[in-house]
Copies of this chain bind each other. A is one copy, B any other.
Amino acid sequence: MENVIPVNEPAPEAETDEKGPSKSALKKAAKEKEKAEKAAKRAQAEEAQRKEAEANDVSKDDYGDLPPDGTLPLPMFEDDKVPFVELSELPELFSDTTKLDEPQGPHVILKARVSNARTQSAKLAFLELRDRLDTIQAVVAASDTLSRQMIKFCASIPSESVVVVHALVKKPKDPVKSATISELELHIKKLYVESRAMTQLPMQVADAERAIPAEGEEESADGPIVTLNTRLNNRVIDLRANLNQAIFAIKFGVEDFFREFLKSRGFTGIHTPKLLGAPSEGGANVFEVKYFGTKAYLAQSPQLYKQMLIASDMKRVMEVGPIFRAENSNTARHLTEFVGLDLEMAFNKHYHEVVSLLEELMLYIFNGLKEKYKRETDLLRSVYKVDEFKLPEAGKVPRLNFAEGIKMLRDAGEEIGDFDDLTTPQEKKLGALVLEKYGSDFYVLDQFPLAIRPFYTMPSAETQAKYDSANPNAGYSNSYDFFMRGQEIMSGAQRIHRAEYLEQRMKEHVSPVDPNSDGLRDYVQAFREGCSKHAGGGIGLERIVMLWLGLPNVRLASLFPRDPGRKTP
């Protein structure tokens, strides 16, 4: 819940005027003086009492705040027989709960957050301890060796503080339903605060466990929810939610599967420059940087560089890195900085060799997610109420020609020209039609119209054969888009590998560019120096995560998202 700050408090009344203090004012001042003296005395007495209590506190070395560097008191470690464990390890370590009935039963040391602390009585407090996805109940009970002062201390620890505890592991009388580890309970012997959280947090972790509404949708009926904006402003707390831990585990999984598959196919990881001397891809939507008295620009993709590396005989290259787009779009689908998964490869005979490899790559990622991230995927789908992502049967990815896609749309009543680009609603509609016909949320659209692709796209052989200088952008190209749930996740193509043809296409393109411009000169030169046939593609990492899980906003898949209005935290 967000902080509620009372804004209608009455202003304090004016108590003096120009004539000097009145009788009643003097009387009031005297009263206040008396009150202050009493309070001071009381505080003094309390302090004396506290000191005496502390001196008599049998537990005084067993709890407290650690020093700033977090050094644990030596006694905590003197007994090396007590293992330092992770909360998540407990169920497996103590799966045989019958052994937990011994009075001198097993002790552990562990670190966790206090997600909740409360007193039952002066003699008993309960803490809920949390460590990522796991929670457990901890009991602090007064005894000859555990003081009431310690109970008071434990019960007053603010939520989200980090504590180190030394505890006896026991089996609770009844399973603790509120905890994920319900068959075990910790009986605290020692407790130290490593990091004390502020008492009034700007939002609660629990707030972040709920779905955010999709664009245009109403907020959930069951009570107000913390807005996406508030969550992103308080991202450090927000990310502690299981929902977010799951999203970023999956994001890492996608990246890892991407690398793993491509590495096994002989790809080399590369790093192309993000600072460029001139805008290279058209010039629009590029961020400008001050560079030692000159200007530089942030790379909008590794496109030109990964092609130059093919010309350098690197053969198969992949890059995972930031992509910068200065597009002033404030939609649920756009970020100004995102993670690009890029690849480029030389091929032997036909660019479909590359398309097939890319299809295999995506299936490898999807199957990996199904297998290794089921818990995380299920959690997200249950909260966001999203259908399971349907993979093609027998691993045969539907690959349609663009013309075929247009026909399907027309048959479904859509009005669209042969060479028109698809609008977002048309893409979604085609996705639905493909799902219906082929039973797959994933498909490939091949042979896009030449006119709607970038200048470096290879026209198809048929288009080259029918070339007409009066209409040089007619026909199709060896280019493809990959779709998930009816939204594009990857764009790719065979690229032009010969300098003279590239120069021709640069000039003839719908948006012509100058082969001799600062941003393109070195690129064109690369092909003059000899270059193999090649094709490749680029994938938005956040988009795959969003579409795999059916999230309503791409910002949810970025740790610290950037858009035209957001550059913090």
- Residues of chain A touching chain B, judged by Cβ–Cβ distance below 8 Å, are 67-72, 77, 84, 111, 113, 131-132, 160-162, 194-198, 201, 235-237, 239-240, 244-245, 248-249, 252, 255-256, 259, 263, 268-278, 287-292, 294, 296, 298, 305, 308-309, 311-315, 320-322, 324, 326, 328, 336-337, 339, 346, 348-349, 458-461, 464, 478, 494, 496-498, 501, 518, 522-523, 525-533, 541, 558-560, 562, 564-565, 567-569
Q: Decide if B195 touches A530 in the complex (CB within 8 Å).
A: yes
Q: Which residues of B contact A567 (CB under 8 A)?
A: 273, 275-277, 291, 294, 296
Q: B72, B531, B533, B560: which contacts A273 (Cβ < 8 A)? A: B560
Q: Which residues of B contact A326 (CB under 8 A)?
A: 291-292
For the complex, give the distance between the alpha carbons of A291 and B565 in Å.
Answer: 9
Given A132-B313, A312-B240, are A69 and B268 neighbors across the interface (CB < 8 Å)?
no
Kindly list 18 other residue pairs between chains A and B, CB separation below 8 angstroms, not including A273-B567, A287-B291, A523-B569.
A67-B461, A67-B464, A69-B478, A70-B497, A84-B349, A113-B530, A197-B528, A248-B270, A255-B269, A256-B263, A271-B558, A278-B568, A291-B567, A292-B565, A305-B559, A309-B559, A320-B320, A522-B569
Q: Which residues of B contact A526 (CB under 8 A)?
A: 236
For the complex, give the distance between the alpha carbons of A75 and B482 in Å.
Answer: 33
Copies of the chain in the assembly: 2
Given A161-B530, A195-B530, A313-B113, are A464 and B69 neighbors across the interface (CB < 8 Å)?
yes
Q: Decide if B275 touches A336 in the complex (CB within 8 Å).
A: yes
Closest to A72 in B: B349
Closest to A527 in B: B195
For the complex, give the distance between the alpha carbons of A67 and B465 in Å.
Answer: 10
Q: Which residues of B contact A346 (CB under 8 A)?
A: 111
For the complex, give the distance between the alpha carbons of A419 and B131 in Å.
Answer: 40
| Min C-beta distance of A48 to chain B, whole Å | 27
Pairs across A and B, CB under 8 Å, 15 listed:
A68-B458, A68-B464, A68-B501, A69-B458, A69-B461, A162-B531, A194-B533, A236-B311, A245-B313, A249-B268, A273-B560, A292-B328, A308-B569, A320-B320, A321-B321
Closest to A348 in B: B84
Q: Decide if B68 touches A498 in the complex (CB within 8 Å).
A: yes
Closest to A336 in B: B275
Q: Decide if A529 touches B160 in the complex (CB within 8 Å).
A: yes
Q: Decide if B198 touches A236 in the complex (CB within 8 Å).
A: no
Q: Decide if B195 touches A532 in the complex (CB within 8 Å).
A: yes
Q: Which residues of B contact A201 (CB under 8 A)?
A: 529
Q: Decide if A275 touches B337 in the complex (CB within 8 Å).
A: yes
| Min C-beta distance of A362 to chain B, whole Å | 19
Q: Which residues of B contact A235 (CB under 8 A)?
A: 308, 312
For the complex, give the distance between the alpha carbons of A195 and B307 in Å.
Answer: 14
Given A67-B461, A277-B568, A314-B248, are A529 and B239 neighbors across the interface (CB < 8 Å)?
no
Q: Which residues of B contact A305 (CB under 8 A)?
A: 559-560
Q: B197, B289, B461, B530: which contacts A298 (Cβ < 8 A)? A: B289
Closest to A294 in B: B567
For the complex, give the distance between the alpha carbons of A467 and B458 in Å.
Answer: 69
For the complex, give the distance between the alpha carbons of A228 and B268 in Å.
Answer: 24
Q: Decide if B529 touches A497 in the complex (CB within 8 Å).
A: no
Q: Which residues of B contact A309 (CB under 8 A)?
A: 239, 559
Q: Decide if A198 touches B529 in the complex (CB within 8 Å).
A: yes
| Min C-beta distance of A190 to chain B, whole Å | 14
Q: Which residues of B contact A522 (CB under 8 A)?
A: 236, 568-569
For the complex, give the distance between the alpha carbons of A541 and B326 in Å.
Answer: 28
Q: Which residues of B contact A287 (CB under 8 A)?
A: 275, 289-291, 296
Q: B240, B270, B273, B518: which contacts A562 (Cβ < 8 A)? A: B273
Q: Decide if B271 touches A322 in the complex (CB within 8 Å).
A: yes
For the complex, give the distance between the alpha carbons of A198 and B526 in Å.
Answer: 10
